[in-house]
């Protein structure tokens, strides 16, 4: 008889853990996928802010029959897809697009150090 769905799923999970370098993968923790969520369940108008980094992506997904938009950063688009697929299930990811940010990722969130007070 063929392999059961449970054993196939376990094999895929083990394979994925080997690929990720034995990191613990948790869909509730985006950093375990190497991702960062900048805006969660927001509007398209808010994602058009140019003060975000230019490597940010707009992901549209469906959860409980409602469509949502997030602005996220991730090293690889496939890791971003995996995060939302694992978190919301098959068929949830509708689209992944580039964001509208114009700030260099190296400089985004950079705060200049406080200078010494002059005497």
For 53-93, how does the pLDDT look when each residue is reduced to its tens digit (9 = 90+)? 999 999 999 998 999 999 999 989 999 999 999 999 899 99
pTM metric for this prediction: 0.71
How buried is residue 54: exposed, middle or buried, by Cβ count under 10 Å (0-12/13-18/19+)? Answer: middle
How far is CA 45 from its chain centroid?
19
- b/e map of 57-87 (b: 16 or more CB within 10 Å)? bbbbbeeeeeebbbbbbbeeeeebebbbbeb
Domain extents in the chain: 8-98
């Amino acid at each position: 008889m063929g392999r059961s769905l449970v054993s196939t799923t376990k094999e895929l999970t083990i394979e994925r853990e080997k690929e990720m370098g034995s990191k613990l993968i948790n869909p509730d923790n985006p950093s375990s996928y190497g991702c960062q969520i900048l805006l969660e369940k927001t509007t398209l108008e808010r994602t058009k802010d140019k003060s975000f980094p230019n490597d940010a992506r707009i992901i549209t997904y469906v959860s409980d029959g409602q469509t949502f938009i997030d602005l996220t950063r991730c090293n690889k688009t496939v890791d971003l897809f995996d995060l939302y697929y694992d978190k919301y299930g098959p068929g949830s990811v509708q689209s992944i697009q580039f964001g509208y940010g114009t700030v260099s990722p190296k400089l985004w969130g950079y705060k200049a150090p406080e200078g010494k007070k002059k005497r």
